[in-house]
Amino acid sequence: MKRTGIKPLSDKRRKERLLEGFIPNSTLKRISNKRRKQMVEEKILARMLWIKQKGFCNRCKGVLFGTWPPPSKHEIIRRNAGGDPLSEENCEILCSACHQDVTLNVDIKDKGVHR
Ligand SMILES: [Zn+2]
């Protein structure tokens, strides 16, 4: 197949892409609707967990608000090991330091489980 150069987007198409949440001039792949929906659900879950944990890290009990790098949702059983990224039981909010520790500390006996 002959490769053609990248055509600049028309103004109309650029506007449509912006409305879709697509970053202009980026080489990122467009996100499928299914993936997008899951990302939204994960964000909602992260908020719920944040409230449940009262704004504290689930491990070191440090305050999460205003920390940098930002805290993130940790999946206790990784999704590639069959963990559910949308289950409240499988997720917790950790500060970035705890998240890094827990991600690096993988017990091989516990297939894909981070604790
Ligand atoms: Zn922590």
Distance CA 83, CA 104 (A): 17
How many angstroms is it from 110 CA to the middle of ligand 1?
22
Distances (CA, A) of 62 to 27, 43, 68, 79, 110: 38, 21, 13, 26, 27
Q: What is the pLDDT of residue 1?
A: 61
Report CA(17)–ligand 1 centroid distance (Å): 38
Asked, for residue 115, whether it belongs to a domain, the answer is: no
30 Cα to the center of ligand 1, angstroms: 33
Q: Which residues contact 102 (CB under 8 A, 6 or more apart)?
A: 59, 74, 94, 114, 115
Residue 54 Cα, ligand 1 centroid: separation in angstroms? Answer: 13
Could you tell me the pTM of the whole model?
0.66
DSSP SS3 for 103? helix
In a domain, 6, yes or no: no
**88 CA distance to ligand 1 centroid (A)?**
18
| Residue 105 resides in a domain | yes
Assign 88 a pLDDT band (cuts: 50, 70, 90): very high
- Please check the confidence at residue 25 and state whether its pLDDT lies above 60: no
- What phi and psi, each to the nearest 5 degrees, are found at residue 77? -100, 120
Asked if the structure places residue 1 within a domain, the reply is no
Whether residue 71 lies inside any domain: the answer is yes
Q: Domain total for the chain?
A: 1
* Structural domain containing residue 104: 11-24+32-110
Cα(63) to centroid(ligand 1), Å: 8
8-20 tens-digit pLDDT:
778 887 777 777 6
In a domain? residue 93:
yes
| Residue 93: strand pairing partners | 73
Distance 56 CA to ligand 1 centre (A): 8
How far is the centre of ligand 1, averaged over its atoms, from the C-alpha of 83 (Å)? 21
Residue 2 lies in a domain: no
